[in-house]
Amino acid sequence: MRASWIKRADGGAQAASPPGAPEPEEGPAAGRPAAPGEPAGTVGAPSVPGEDAPETPGPLGPVANIGVGIAVVALGAAGIAGSLALGAGAPARPAAGTWPLLVSCAMAGLGVVLLLMAGRTRDTEAFSAASWKVLAGLATMAGFVAVIGVIGFEIPSALLAFVWLRFLGGESWRLSAVTSVLIVVAFYVIFVGLLAVPIPHLF
């Protein structure tokens, strides 16, 4: 069978389709070249709704919200007790427990708010694999508080920053090491050198 040819509007020629054959498609499905700024892999590729949508965990229930609120209040209360043991000081004469006391009071207050809104809020997500990072962060912070009064803040602060940056944040080994050292130096210069805050330190 000989193919017949038809003349296009732009002066070229193309083979005419035999009778009964489907007309060639135009647009992305016809294999046209990608337009400027359009990814080449998307030309002619069918899109499936929700195919690449990330899976997000559902919201927690009221019982779990109450549990989280109680845990936050308990952690804040423990921080308040530890801060008072270090010495709360005064606004004019801050002591080692002044800043931890403020943070612990704010944490306990937020826990109370969570308890009051446990039946209405749906912002909290269900526990997933990423939740273990939060628990690891709380565990390392508890270890930091436990040893800072014994060996000073320099080594625990450096280790805490390194663990958070490298293992929880996924930063490189070099960036984590350099940043953790710079954080300790900055804290030492500001709180020990300039403000003379009586926090436990080695040097």
Which one-letter DSSP state was computed for residue 164?
A: I
pLDDT of 30: 47
Query: Quick check: 88 and 95 in contact, CB under 8 A?
Result: yes
Domain for residue 195, yes or no?
A: yes
Domain extent for 175? 127-203
> What's the mean pLDDT when you consider all of the chain?
76
Show which of 125, 141, 176 is a domain's final residue.
Answer: 125
Show which of 125, 149, 164 is a domain's final residue.
Answer: 125
**Angle formed by the axes of helices 154-163 and 131-151, nearest 10°:** 170
Nearest Cα to Cα of residue 102 among 123, 75, 133, 80: 80
Number of domains in the chain: 2
Q: Is 36 exposed, middle or buried (0-12, 13-18, 19+ CB in 10 A)?
A: exposed
Domain for residue 104, yes or no?
A: yes
pLDDT at residue 12 is higher than 60: no
Domain for residue 113, yes or no?
A: yes
Out of 16-20, 85-89, 189-193, the most confident range is 189-193
Lowest-pLDDT range of 22-31, 92-101, 161-170: 22-31
For residue 16, give the amino acid letter: A
For residue 19, give the amino acid letter: P
Residues 117 and 166 in one domain: no
88 vs 94: CA distance, rounded Å: 7
pLDDT at residue 21 is higher than 70: no
Neighbours of 164 (CB within 10 A): 19
Domain for residue 187, yes or no?
A: yes
- What is the number of residues in the chain? 203
Band (13; pLDDT cuts 50, 70, 90): low
Residues 119 and 77 in one domain: yes
Residues 131 and 201 in one domain: yes
Show which of 72, 94, 125 is a domain's final residue.
Answer: 125
Q: Which runs of consecutive H residues, i.e. helices, occur in the chain?
A: 62-86, 98-116, 131-151, 154-163, 173-187
Per-residue pLDDT reduced to its tens digit, 90-147: 777 888 788 888 889 999 999 999 888 887 776 666 667 777 888 888 889 888 888 8
Q: What percent of the chain has pLDDT over 70?
A: 67
Residues 115 and 143 in one domain: no
Nearest Cα to Cα of residue 101 among 111, 113, 90: 90
Domain for residue 48, yes or no?
A: no
pLDDT at residue 81 is higher than 70: yes
pLDDT of 135: 83
Domain for residue 54, yes or no?
A: no
Band (29; pLDDT cuts 50, 70, 90): very low
Per-residue pLDDT reduced to its tens digit, 30-65: 445 555 555 554 444 555 554 555 555 566 677 878
Residues 203 and 133 in one domain: yes
